[in-house]
Amino acid sequence: MKKAFAAMFTLTVFCFSFFTVSGVFGAGEEPSVSIGTGGVTGVFYPAGGAIASIVNKKRQEYGIQCEVKPTEGSVYNINALIEGTLDFALVQSDRQFQAVRGKAEWRDKGPQKNLRAMFSLYSEACTLCAAVDSGIMNISDLKGKNVNLGNPGSGHLQNSLDALAMAGLREKDLNIFHAKASEAPRLLQRREIDAFFYTVGHPAGEIINATTGKRKIRIIPMPAVSNQVVAKYPYYVKTRIPIELYPNTANDADIHTFGVKATFVTSAKASNMAAYAIVREIFENLNFFKTLHVAFEGLKKEDMLKGMSAPFHPGALRYYKEAGLIK
């Protein structure tokens, strides 16, 4: 646990240094490249900060400067990339899959053919937190309870709906809330909700906040749901949440659930140089990158090319061929 918090503290300082340094440069000195992330207490935001900080060390060489932007999440990020208001972004692998195929939120818009892949990162677990005093011991116990599924524009909203469907629950069976993940711990501690879903890399600030309040929390295992969603959807994977990351929960064993990959994507409009620079610096400095957050510790170069549905951006592909990762 100490190691996890040390990594989080290191990255917090690192990201603060990035923002401080970037503020020194005058407007127009170097083209700004935006990176869309998620809420500031999730893992998308520090992941974007880590990417930006490493690339910005070579800003004079590449002539670009990365800027991290907190956002509403995966759906927002994909739409912003296509619209051109973001240059790069972190999105869940399921949302990338759906956008490329014109499913879910993109059913009316059709396949998002301009979306381009860069690399994938850590696994994000669909996490169901419930108050112990609510009596919720498994997902079926959510019936009739006040439950936050996630805000529109987030990736975890669809994940929570998929989990409910596999458990035989419909939205009308619950009292549904659509608050942001950053608001959920406060709502739960104030007894406005009984439980909340959040798909996130661990350890996560919102889960830590939820488990350190006066109201005791249990993270609900979903092994049966995991088996079903993995069998039905190609973008889901089985995963687990190590209990040592959250010692204040009522759990006494690791939590088995399902999840997705956090992926870094862009659009066909992004410059080849920017895409090449980002991929090259992350892969060439991967050992250092892995020290910046506990969620990055298990990263392997070959695995970072998996879980992608969109075609690779030509700039990213150039590096992968140079490095022998793709022939």
Q: Which residues pair with 265 in a beta bridge?
A: 89, 117
- Which domains are delineated in the chain? 2-123+261-322 (3.40.190.10), 124-260 (3.40.190.10)
Q: How far is CA 113 from CA 22, 118, 263, in A?
A: 33, 15, 17
> Tokens 């049966």 sit at which residue?
224
Which helix (H) or strand (E) is 127 found in, with range? strand 115-131
326 touches 320 (CB < 8 A):
yes
SS3 content of the chain, % helix, strand, coil (to 5): 45, 20, 35
- Residue 228's nearest CA partner among 220, 218, 236 is 236
Among 145, 246, 149, 146, which residue's Cα sits nearest to residue 197? 149
Per-residue pLDDT of the chain (327 residues; tens, 9 = 90+): 444 444 443 444 344 334 333 333 334 456 899 999 998 888 999 999 999 999 999 999 999 999 999 999 999 999 999 999 999 999 999 999 999 999 999 999 999 999 999 999 998 999 999 999 999 999 999 999 999 999 998 888 999 999 999 999 999 999 999 999 999 999 999 999 999 999 998 988 889 989 999 999 999 999 999 999 999 998 998 999 999 999 999 999 999 999 999 999 999 999 999 999 999 999 999 999 999 998 899 899 999 999 899 999 999 999 999 999 998
pLDDT at residue number 153: 80
